[in-house]
Amino acid sequence: MPNRNGSVYGLTILSPIINDEKATPSHDLQIRSYLAKLSTREDSPFAIAPATHLARLAVMDDVIYVGMPACEEHLNSKYLVFESNCDGDLDSYLGGLADAIPEHLDAIWKHCVGYPGAANGQAFIDYMKACQLETTFYFAAVNDKSVSETLRALQAKTAVGDFIANHQGADAATLQREFIQFMAQLKSEPVPKPGSMGPHRTIKTGGRNE
């Protein structure tokens, strides 16, 4: 199934945005305004809800005209693109979003046609599936690890480097004793929060090719 690669699911959603000439600002601008203020760190909605590796939201204004001899054509609606790389099966993932971050989902998707709200979990899942596109080819560099397994491994990678650096030349008995202590301490530490250890978001204004 092309939506899945190993244990990772590639979700692609295109939600038509309400086209209301009387709305001020327009619904697509209201989505953009909300997204511009949304945190991308550990208090991001996708960090609060479980199972998202990477996700993006983009307003697609129109299809792109590449010039003659191609035909020029335009969309009747703008679309909200939601692209997510997540763990588990689709129903649990969408259900997890609806349970954990309903206010954010409503604030974003209320500008889309036919959005039923996240309060009714099943209606939300059905709506998202109605907007889902089937992926044709999906690539994942690591396709058999969950978000928490990856965060735990990144934590271990740093800690192991420090342990090795601090125990060069140690005798065998000390090394063994301190390694056992190190492992106990590493296991007792909480898994880093998703989205933590990241830079504070800065809005890029210098063009897309930075």
DSSP, res 198: -
Q: Which of 22, 24, 103, 157 binds other proteins (CB under 8 A)?
A: 157
Pairing of strands 132-133, 79-87: unpaired
**Rounded Cα gap, residues 84 and 86, in angstroms:** 6
Using CB under 8 A as the criterion, what x/- string covers residues 121-140 for binding other proteins?
---------xxxxxxxxxxx
Please tell me whether the peptide bond between 69 and the residue prior to it is cis, using omega within 30 degrees of 0: yes
Closest listed residue to residue 3, CA positions, set 72, 63, 91, 78: 91
Q: Which of 4, 26, 38, 107 binds other proteins (CB under 8 A)?
A: 38
By CB under 8 A, how many residues form the interface with other proteins?
A: 92
**Of residues 1-30, which lie at the interface with other proteins (CB under 8 A)?**
2, 8, 10, 12, 14-16, 18-20
Nearer to other proteins, 23 or 119 (CB): 23
Q: Is residue 145 part of the contact set for other proteins (CB under 8 A)?
A: yes
Tell me the one-letter amino acid at 129. K
H/E run at residue 147? helix 147-166
The first and second tokens of residue 210, run together, are 């930075």
Closest listed residue to residue 166, CA positions, set 188, 187, 181: 181
Cβ 107 to other proteins shortest distance, Å: 12
Q: Which of 25, 43, 61, 166 binds other proteins (CB under 8 A)?
A: 61
Q: Which of 22, 36, 103, 190 binds other proteins (CB under 8 A)?
A: 36
Using CB under 8 A as the criterion, what x/- string covers residues 64-103 for binding other proteins?
x-xx--xx-x-xxx-x-x-x-x------------------
**Rounded Cα gap, residues 120 and 122, in angstroms:** 6
**Of residues 101-120, which lie at the interface with other proteins (CB under 8 A)?**
113-114
Cβ 116 to other proteins shortest distance, Å: 10
